[in-house]
């Protein structure tokens, strides 16, 4: 008997020309999912929107770029239809983004929701106004109703969907994101100085609360001169990055740089507090989980999937992400070392429950329920 | 993880070589140098560094066939079986903070190639940013994890064919490092004229070549933005 085959459809693992990959959270999720299938003896192939190219994603794993004609109401019907025709003989189809299930879905299929991305004020105008917004709801309903299962990385998406369409609950499987807790771990306390270091480990975007974090950094460092703020992440473009570098150069307490996902470990290991003050568009953030696994108390925005990870005053602080609230929470943790350390210990223990081994087992169980046999 | 730098040199003794070798000695294991027939004190200077492994061509190759020179240097380097190879020129140095952060790049398992941004210094503490000189958007492949299973082939372009075999440019996941490289090759006006004369003969219609001798009012410069060293990573 030959290997089982899974085809995974995504929008853009690589850019349209197939030359560049911006390796963010979703791409890492895709690679870990691929590795899980390979470890289980499956053949994996990927499809995405692209200018008709084919390349290797991992050894033995191809990714095809399919030319796409349209993108209306945040869906890509022609990509979906091309995939439907060309991947029809696979044992399992995975729609890496839920809206890719519209309009046609292969019989044995799973869609993934990486979190709510429509919870910011300009969403409706971005999608093209009220009418396209209505069409988007209609398509979303169809997309969520069609695959065998919908894996959601957070409970917020499930709550949102079942509020709109109550009968949808059984379709959802909650599999929160993962962290490799054997790689991301705390170091024994071995500080060479008495500085308190605070990290903002995200992209420099408004939805991630960059403005609020910068404002808080200014206020805090005026009062506490031994506190450092480390902004670690890329901007949307080089102008943002250059501007941020200039801003950080103004003060001995501000740092700006970026790291690879693996390279973040040693940064977290030397920090005392982590800020994830997202305002929208957030699932169960990999950065949040990795910081927690390294024993950091996280001050997190109370939106998206973050409340699935953070229990206020137990393993971090959950706040409405304003600059004022950030300042108050940071002060609380600066002034109370014992509390900071206890939250960090609890954060590490919480992260263990999100270890990648658990994530893989949960995924295998969902796959089994869709294909009707063991993975 | 071992890191070997590889560097072609030619009459560098009175330029930046000493600075570059001091700099590299702080964070690489060995520096493989291919001297393309220097006639000045370059050989002596190179040999005064413990980490340098020195090779020499008696007749200059670069002007006739840059890829052949790069290939020869690569072959000398891979004979020593390093884990990682840094391709650097004798007028390039990383910003100061790289010394404590470079080790992390070498522990990487998700990437096997790393790109860096090259800032072309024009005068004192300023680099050039107009048109094709904008360093913020150009990523140069300078660091690769050596893979002995790859059969290497080289670009046939006689100019700018790359510092590595073609296969290392085809690897899909490249990490774009934020560590900046200072390139001093355009600082001296005589160097500029010499390079212009060289390229104008070979690439006469190229806009970038023309821009080498742009008058001052057309040249846009930007002051170097300092970036602090992560002291907590210092050993």
- In chain B, residues with a C-beta closer than 8 Å to the C-beta of A246 are 225
Find, among B176, B180, B171, the residue nearest to B150 by Cα: B171
Q: Considering only CB atoms, which residues of chain A are within 8 Å of chain B?
A: 14, 21, 23, 31, 55-57, 192-193, 197, 238, 241-242, 245-246, 248-249, 252, 255-263, 266, 270
Is the residue at A318 inside a domain? yes
CB neighbour class for A9 (10 Å; exposed up to 12, middle 13-18, buried from 19): buried
pLDDT confidence of residue B235: 77
Contact A150, A171 (CB under 8 A): yes
- Among chain B residues, the shortest Cα distance to A261 is held by B110
Is the residue at A78 inside a domain? yes
**Min distance B94 CA to chain A CA atoms (Å):** 15
A312 CB-near residues (< 8 Å, 6+ apart): A318
Is the residue at A190 inside a domain? no
Q: Report domain extents, chain B.
A: 3-115+134-186
pLDDT confidence of residue A17: 86
Q: What is the pLDDT of residues B36-48, one digit of tens each?
A: 999 999 999 999 9
| Domain with A287 in it | 196-352
Verify that A87 and A20 share a domain, yes or no: yes
Q: Which of B150, B178, B179, B222 has the highest number of chain A CBs within 10 A, making it the mutation to test binding with A?
A: B178
Q: Which of A30, A56, A260 has the highest number of chain B CBs within 10 A, making it the mutation to test binding with B?
A: A260
- Residue A41, domain CATH: 3.40.50.2000
Verify that A221 and A127 share a domain, yes or no: no
Distance CA A54, CA A62 (A): 7
Verify that A90 and A146 share a domain, yes or no: yes
Question: What percentage of chain A carries pLDDT values higher than 70?
Answer: 100
Residue with tokens 């150009």: B138
Distance CA B28, CA B21 (A): 10
pLDDT confidence of residue B156: 85
Is the residue at A191 inside a domain? no
Is B172–A21 a contact, with Cβ atoms under 8 angstroms apart? yes
Domain count for chain A, please give it: 2
DSSP structural state of residue B108: -
Q: Decide if domain B3-115+134-186 falls under CATH 1.10.150.300.
A: no
Distance CA A268, CA A288 (A): 11
On whether any CB of chain A is under 8 Å from the CB of B158, the answer is no
Measured between CB atoms, which of B136, B226, B227 is closest to A238?
B136
Distance CA A255, CA A233 (A): 11
Is B175–A260 a contact, with Cβ atoms under 8 angstroms apart? yes
Give the angle A344-A345-A348 at the CA atoms, nearest 5°.
85
On whether any CB of chain A is under 8 Å from the CB of B217, the answer is no
On whether any CB of chain A is under 8 Å from the CB of B172, the answer is yes
Residues B203-227: what's their mean pLDDT?
95
Is B136–A270 a contact, with Cβ atoms under 8 angstroms apart? no
Radius of gyration of chain A (CA): 21
Token reading at B131: 């048109």
Measured between CB atoms, which of A14, A249, A270 is closest to B226?
A249
Is B109–A262 a contact, with Cβ atoms under 8 angstroms apart? yes
Low-confidence ranges of chain A (pLDDT < 70): 1
Verify that A77 and A161 share a domain, yes or no: yes
Is the residue at A103 inside a domain? yes
Token reading at A184: 């991301």
pLDDT confidence of residue A19: 76
Verify that A138 and A275 share a domain, yes or no: no
Is A262–B108 a contact, with Cβ atoms under 8 angstroms apart? yes
Is B225–A56 a contact, with Cβ atoms under 8 angstroms apart? no
pLDDT confidence of residue A72: 79
Give the angle B187-B193-B196 at the CA atoms, nearest 5°.
105
Verify that A78 and A121 share a domain, yes or no: yes
Mean of all residue pLDDT scores within chain B: 95
Residue-wise DSSP of B177-192: EEEEEEE-TTSSHHHH
Is the residue at A187 inside a domain? no
**Min distance A103 CA to chain B CA atoms (Å):** 31
Residue with tokens 């020309």: A17
- Among chain A residues, the shortest Cα distance to B170 is held by A19
pLDDT confidence of residue A199: 98
Is the residue at A82 inside a domain? yes
Verify that A46 and A153 share a domain, yes or no: yes
DSSP structural state of residue A188: P
Residues B193-216: what's their mean pLDDT?
94
B96 CB-near residues (< 8 Å, 6+ apart): B229
ipTM for the predicted complex comes to 0.96
- Among chain B residues, the shortest Cα distance to A255 is held by B228
């Amino acid at each position: 008997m030959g290997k089982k085959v899974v085809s995974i459809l995504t929008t853009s693992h690589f850019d349209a020309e197939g030359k560049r990959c911006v390796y963010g959270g979703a791409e890492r999720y895709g690679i870990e999912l691929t590795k899980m299938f390979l470890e289980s003896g499956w053949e994996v192939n990927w499809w995405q929107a692209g200018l008709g190219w084919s390349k290797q994603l991992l050894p033995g794993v191809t990714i095809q770029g399919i030319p796409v004609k349209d993108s209306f109401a945040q869906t890509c019907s022609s990509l979906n239809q091309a995939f439907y025709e060309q991947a029809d003989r696979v044992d399992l189809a995975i729609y890496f983004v839920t809206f890719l299930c519209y309009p046609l879905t292969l019989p044995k299929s799973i869609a993934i929701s990486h979190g709510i991305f429509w919870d910011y004020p300009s969403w409706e105008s971005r999608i093209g106004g009220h009418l396209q917004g209505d069409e988007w709801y209609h398509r979303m309903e169809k997309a969520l109703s069609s695959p065998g299962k919908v894996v959601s990385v957070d409970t917020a998406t499930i709550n949102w969907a079942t509020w709109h369409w109550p009968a949808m609950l059984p379709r959802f499987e909650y599999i929160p994101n993962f962290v490799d807790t054997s790689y991301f771990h705390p170091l024994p306390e071995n500080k060479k100085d008495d500085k308190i270091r605070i990290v903002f480990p995200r992209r420099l975007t408004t939805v991630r609360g960059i403005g609020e974090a910068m404002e808080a950094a200014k206020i805090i460092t005026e009062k506490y001169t031994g506190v450092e703020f480390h902004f670690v992440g890329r901007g949307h473009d080089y102008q943002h990055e250059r501007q941020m570098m200039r801003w950080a150069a103004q003060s001995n307490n501000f740092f700006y740089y970026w790291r690879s996902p693996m390279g973040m470990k040693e940064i977290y290991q030397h920090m005392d507090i982590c800020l994830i003050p997202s305002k929208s568009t957030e699932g169960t953030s990999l950065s949040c989980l990795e910081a927690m696994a390294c024993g950091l108390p996280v001050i997190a925005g109370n939106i998206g999937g973050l409340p699935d990870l953070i229990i206020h005053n137990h393993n971090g602080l959950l706040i409405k992400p304003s600059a004022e609230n950030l300042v108050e929470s940071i002060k609380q943790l600066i002034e109370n070392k014992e509390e900071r350390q206890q939250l960090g210990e609890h954060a590490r223990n919480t992260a263990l429950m999100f270890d990648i081994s658990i994530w893989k087992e949960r995924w295998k169980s969902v796959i089994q329920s869709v294909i009707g046999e063991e993975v | 993880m071992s890191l070997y730098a590889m560097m072609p040199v030619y009459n560098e003794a009175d330029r930046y070589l000493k600075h570059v070798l001091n700099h590299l000695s702080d964070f690489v294991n060995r520096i493989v140098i291919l001297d393309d027939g220097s006639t000045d004190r370059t050989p002596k200077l190179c040999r005064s560094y413990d980490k340098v492994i020195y090779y020499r061509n008696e007749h200059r190759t670069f002007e006739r066939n840059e890829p052949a020179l790069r290939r020869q240097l690569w072959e000398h380097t891979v004979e020593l079986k390093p884990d990682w190879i840094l391709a650097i020129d004798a007028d390039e140095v990383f910003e100061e903070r790289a010394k404590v952060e470079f080790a992390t790049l070498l522990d990487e398992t998700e990437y096997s190639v790393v790109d860096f941004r090259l800032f072309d210094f024009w005068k004192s503490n300023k680099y050039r940013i107009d048109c094709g000189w904008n360093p913020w958007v150009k990523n140069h492949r300078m660091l690769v994890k050596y893979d002995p299973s790859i059969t290497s082939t080289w670009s046939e372009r006689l100019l700018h064919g790359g510092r590595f075999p073609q296969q290392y440019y085809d690897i899909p996941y490249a990490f774009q490092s934020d560590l900046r490289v200072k390139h001093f090759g355009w600082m001296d006006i005589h160097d500029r004229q010499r390079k212009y004369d060289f390229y104008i003969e070979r690439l006469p219609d190229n806009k970038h070549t023309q821009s080498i001798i742009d008058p001052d009012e057309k040249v846009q410069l930007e002051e170097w933005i300092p970036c602090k060293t992560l002291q907590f990573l210092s050993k």
